[in-house]
Structure 1
Amino acid sequence: MLTGNQSWVFENSPAIVSTGTVGGPFEANGAIPEAFDLLHDDLWIGERSYEKAQSILIEGAITTALKKASVKKEDVSFMLAGDLVNQLTPSSFAGRSLEIPYLGMFGACSTSMEGLAIGAFIMNGHGAKHIVSVASSHNAATEKQFRYPTEYGGQKPPTAQWTVTAAGACLLARTGEGPFVTGATLGKIVDMGISDPFNMGAAMAPAAAATIETHFKDFNRGPDDYDLIVTGDLGQIGLPICRELLKKKGYELGHDVFQDCGLMIYKESQPVLAGASGPGCSAVVTYGHLLEKMKKGELKRLLVVATGALLSPLSFQQKDSIPCIAHAVVIESTKGVSQ
């Protein structure tokens, strides 16, 4: 059901029946290694390219989620997948291997919640038996595409963020023990003229604030209606900007209720500059860390606002500014939409 102009209420509350999370060696040494079902000890994962290694991450996350739920891949109606590589190559190649009907998603770092929102919409309308939604990123594959190959050793400014090597998948069904997806707000593209690819947190913050404000209005809610609101991934630069923008709109979001996935996944001692980024970041933090808190009763209603910088190597070379987007999804511990 549409509420407002940009939001959906899912009356049938699709269930997240299982999840799968896979990471790399840097994530294994991070702040939440227990959030991962599988951790690889090198970036190549036995493959000849980083892009092929990323496909292995995706396949691992999906097969783990299916195994947990005792669901065969033949019983999955659709695979919704996205990443940062040109033409979604890792996702498409993983879809080729898994042989699940495939829909490619691109929202940059917002892809995790874009896929979850669309998957929940299809499931809410009884359009599938099972749906798997997955988002992934690979540090080395992303760096060589958008910036410089890691081997180049280019110096980064303190506003830069570290691309996570990870894939996070969730399996949706019409029924289950939950958690449950009860609503979503799809964002508009916001471009404030920032063109620096090493300062994506500042570029994405206005889009996150706009989507959160719209979500509050469409659902007639406020910050107090959530146990936790997380963005992904604004980092140290973007999160305070977003908080200040929302304050100007009349919404006070304290540090206890408003956090960022890009500041959760790594330790402060790790050299990630302004924090983490990549579609895999919000996916694994949500599916591997926050949903575990929900299962333990520590969270009842969660709002995940994944943010994406929609630049490309071509747009950067043409000196364009960075269009940004944010998509928000409501996840609750109990079935049914509560107001």
Structure 2
Amino acid sequence: MEIRELGEFKLIERILRQFKTDSPDVIKGIGDDASVTRLDDSRCLLTTTDMLLEGIHFSLLYVPAYLLGKKAVSVSLSDIAAMGGMPKFLLTSVAVPGNISTEFMDLFYRGVKERADEFSMPLIGGNTSSSNGGVIVEVIVIGEALTAEVVYRHGAKPGDIIYTTGFLGDSALGLKIWKARGDKPVTDPFMRDAMLEHIDPVPRVKEGRLIAERKIATAMTDISDGLILDLRHLADESGVGARVYVSEIPLSTAMKRHIINNPDGIMLSLTGGEDYELLFTAPPDMKTMIEELSKEVNLPITAIGEMVQIEEGLKVIDKEGAELKIFNEGFEHFKSYENQN
């Protein structure tokens, strides 16, 4: 069997079967946004790693070195945010072809440093290597949390409300514009905002930390592969189903404009991915607390559906009240028909 027949997530399950552990220091291993390992009686370490490969995750035609550095760190910070933790340390490894300029490397690490400095997160190690296949970046972020406050993908219950931070679909829309326009100027400020969302996402570390600290969420993850696919992971881990209402999806001005001329454009917000917003569930009685949090952090936090019994499955309901069939729920390595970028 070829890996493309198996897909990324079945491959992870296959790996997990070989590396099960009964170590008392491993609270959560493979299968969440970050691993959770015991630090002491009350604290734990959160560890996450991500890779960005040229031609798969980004193109140097429109992602400058400086923003590539920032985004590489942001992607892993988003995982720490999804667990409700605080980032502590950073490791970054890079492989590049020999013809890459020293200016490129200087700008890349300037971006890494700027994003890391925003969270007082020192770079404590990494590696450099030559590459015969484009630029490859690997980032490891180590975070910390109180063990009792960590939020996992499992924990959602029927009746919980589904929430997301920010707006959804802008990154996918931005990628679509980048691919169509290349380096040609875009004058529409709203479309330019969407383009920036794709190459310079903001990790919701503060928001994730407050959600965990105030014990608002029953389960949480970040939206990296696409709203529906990431919600499926959360639902499966929790042993529940879900209902999402298209009419409630939070959309930016750019997305609203795009959908006027492209009604199918709503799929970008449902399956596009790389939003790096938080997706979490909470009991209905947390509504007021969530509204207060939204005002406090000056960021929309929107109810988009509810969790249901597992027998009811995961369904997306359109504006007419009918089920919207979704055949490709998000981006999955090896199985997706196109590279992400």
Task: Give the TM-score, by structure 1 length.
Answer: 0.31
Structure having the higher Rg = 2
Task: Give the TM-score, by structure 2 length.
Answer: 0.30
